[in-house]
């Protein structure tokens, strides 16, 4: 997924063994205007998620202030420091955050390496550069010391005690104290007692945090949950589906029963149960649980494809040559049967984003201070008509994200196999 995000260049048939096939798929895909728009929107969304700390943060990029003792002008980079600083407490949410930050640096560099070396016609040699580049970019994350920075830069700037270049939205995702549940500033200015020097595009939530900032940062959670859980589900699904399809007989019978039961089992209830039983709320649990419960579609697809491939001559040839079953499956059969899996992965991302926000809405979501779209919606539940900005705005990005993923999925499905017609996320 990440590769397809950064290689948004005009000719992105990704480098792979079946260039011809993917080029054909891409040509078909491009004809579907809605799907292309969807893909562009997905990339835009990823851009927002990656850039979130640079778009909305309480720390300025550059800060110049005169030292009160010496009188000299001192320049510092608070945002850069926060960007690299490792978490004080290692919890999955913070690790995810750092991963995003790292990828924000690494992906453009990797893209550059790819672009330059394929320009020189030496991608095969150039890709070895990726490892040192990756390690090099890891350095600042290791070297910068964690430090709590409570300096009220915005207020200092307002009092002319220093100058700073602030992000477009100068509030942090965990920054409190703007007043609880203030409606959007443009909506009803008179209701606020006294003059406010802060502007809240989408109002504030019940802990006095800026909703707009939390919506932006919430994109990180949603996209990560979508992708990671789908990767887990796909891995399990491929393993089970391929095993069932390849070995057949008794194994197939048992695994098919398992798949059947998992399909009909109320997934949402199952996920709720597992999460409720776990002591610690964390994003990792959610990813795992969604992944562990969502593999049935992939398993069925792969099983069907493998069943089809199994009777072909090349499989017999591989077995006759003495290859182990695992080698035959993973090296020969699977590469030929994975195409429909990509389609179901796209729909899967959409539905796991929906699931995650549903869980957060019920209060079974990510660990508490982390921003999530569903959690914001939950705050409106008591009185949706009163806290209408909390009810309305966080839902829009969920709807938008799910729609564009479904659009891309439909486009991909039509481009890959015009005969394959199934409902989204089926």
Partner 1 sequence: MRTYILTRILWAIPTLAVITFLCYALMWYAPGDPARASYLARGGETAGTMAEDEGLSDAGKLFRKRFHLDEPLHRGYALWLWRILSEGDFGVSVTVSLGTPVWQLVAQRVPVTLKLNLWATAVVFLIAVPVGIYSAVRRGSLLDRATTLLFFLLYSLPSFWVGLMLLMAASKFAPGWPTSGLSPPISGGASYWALLLETAKHYVLPVFCLSYAGLAALSRYARVGLLEVVRQDYIRTARAKGCSEPRVILKHALRNGLIPIIVILAGILPGLIGGSVIVEYLFDIQGMGALSLGALSSRDYPVIMTLFGFSAVLTLLGILASDVALALVDPRISYEQKR
User: Under the rule (CB under 8 A), what is the footprint of partner 1?
Assistant: 257, 260-261, 263-270, 272-274, 276-279, 350, 354, 357-358, 361-364, 374, 377, 380-381, 384-385, 388, 391-392, 395, 398-399, 402-403, 406, 421-426
Cα distance between residue 304 and residue 326, in whole Å = 18
Q: Tell the smallest beta-carbon distance from residue 240 to partner 1 (Å).
A: 16
- Cβ closer to partner 1: 296 or 337? 296
| Own/partner pairs, 385-392, CB within 8 angstroms, 24+ separation | 387/181, 388/183, 389/183, 389/184, 389/187, 389/202, 389/203, 389/211, 390/181, 390/203, 390/205, 390/206, 390/211
Q: Tell the smallest beta-carbon distance from residue 273 to partner 1 (Å).
A: 6
Q: Tell the smallest beta-carbon distance from residue 390 to partner 1 (Å).
A: 9
Identify the bridge partners of residue 169 per DSSP, sorted by sequence position: 56
**The dihedral sign for the CA sequence 53, 55, 58, 63:** positive
Cα distance between residue 204 and residue 360, in whole Å = 18
Q: Tell the smallest beta-carbon distance from residue 364 to partner 1 (Å).
A: 8
Cα distance between residue 132 and residue 118, in whole Å = 18
Q: Tell the smallest beta-carbon distance from residue 214 to partner 1 (Å).
A: 16
- Cβ closer to partner 1: 36 or 274? 274
Cα distance between residue 192 and residue 171, in whole Å = 19
Please tell me what DSSP assigns to residue 333: I
- Cβ closer to partner 1: 110 or 353? 353
Which residues are within 8 A (CB) of 376 and not within 5 positions of it... i.e. 6 or more apart?
205, 211, 214, 215, 218, 390, 393, 394
- Cβ closer to partner 1: 147 or 381? 381
- Cβ closer to partner 1: 112 or 261? 261
Q: Tell the smallest beta-carbon distance from residue 388 to partner 1 (Å).
A: 6
Instruction: Decide the pairing of beta strands 62-66 and 163-165.
Output: antiparallel
> Could you give the 3-state DSSP secondary structure of residue 37?
helix
* Cβ proximity of 22 and 338 under 8 Å: no
- Cβ closer to partner 1: 17 or 266? 266
Residue 229's φ and ψ, nearest 5 degrees, are -65, -35
Q: Tell the smallest beta-carbon distance from residue 53 to partner 1 (Å).
A: 26
- Cβ closer to partner 1: 196 or 421? 421
Q: Tell the smallest beta-carbon distance from residue 405 to partner 1 (Å).
A: 8
Cα distance between residue 348 and residue 409, in whole Å = 9
Characterise 160 by phi-psi region: left (phi > 0), alpha (psi -120 to 50), beta (else): left
Rg (CA), the chain: 25
- Cβ closer to partner 1: 32 or 76? 32
Q: Tell the smallest beta-carbon distance from residue 132 to partner 1 (Å).
A: 42
- Cβ closer to partner 1: 101 or 351? 351
């Amino acid at each position: 997924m990440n590769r397809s995000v950064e290689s948004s260049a005009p000719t992105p048939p990704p480098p792979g063994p079946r260039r011809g096939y993917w080029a054909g798929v891409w040509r078909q895909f491009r004809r579907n205007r809605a799907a292309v728009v969807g893909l562009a929107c997905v990339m835009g969304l990823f851009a927002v998620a990656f850039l979130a700390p640079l778009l909305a943060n309480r720390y300025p990029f550059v800060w110049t202030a005169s030292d009160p003792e010496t009188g000299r002008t001192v320049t510092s980079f608070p945002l850069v420091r926060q960007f690299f600083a490792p978490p004080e407490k290692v919890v999955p949410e913070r690790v995810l955050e750092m991963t995003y930050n790292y990828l924000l640096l690494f992906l453009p560099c990797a893209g550059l390496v790819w672009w330059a070396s394929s320009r020189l016609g030496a991608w095969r040699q150039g890709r070895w550069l990726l490892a040192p580049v990756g390690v090099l970019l890891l350095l600042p994350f290791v070297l910068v010391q964690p430090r709590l920075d409570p300096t009220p830069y915005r207020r200092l700037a307002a009092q002319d005690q220093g100058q700073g270049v602030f992000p477009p939205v100068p509030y942090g995702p965990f920054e409190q104290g703007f007043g609880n549940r203030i409606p959007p500033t443009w909506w009803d200015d008179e209701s606020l007692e006294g003059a406010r020097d802060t502007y809240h595009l989408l109002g504030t939530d019940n802990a006095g945090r800026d909703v707009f900032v939390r919506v932006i940062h919430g994109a990180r959670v949603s996209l990560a949950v979508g992708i990671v859980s789908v990767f887990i589900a796909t891995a399990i699904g491929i393993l089970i589906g391929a095993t069932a399809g390849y070995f057949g007989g008794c194994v197939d019978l048992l695994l098919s029963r398992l798949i059947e039961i998992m399909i009909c089992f109320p997934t949402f209830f199952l996920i709720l149960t597992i999460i409720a039983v776990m002591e610690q709320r964390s994003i990792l649990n959610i990813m795992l649980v969604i992944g562990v419960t969502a593999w049935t579609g992939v398993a069925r697809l792969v099983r069907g494809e493998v069943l089809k491939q199994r009777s072909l001559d090349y499989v017999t040839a591989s077995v006759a040559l003495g290859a182990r079953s695992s080698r035959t499956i993973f090296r020969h059969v699977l590469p030929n049967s994975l195409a429909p899996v990509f389609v179901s992965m796209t729909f899967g991302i959409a539905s796991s984003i929906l699931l995650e926000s549903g869980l957060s809405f019920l209060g079974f979501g990510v660990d508490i201070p982390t921003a999530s779209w569903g959690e914001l919606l939950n705050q409106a539940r008591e009185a949706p008509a009163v806290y209408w900005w909390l009810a309305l705005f966080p839902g829009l990005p969920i709807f938008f994200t799910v729609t564009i993923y479904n659009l891309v999925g439909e486009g991909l499905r039509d481009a890959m196999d015009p005969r394959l017609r199934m409902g989204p996320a089926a």
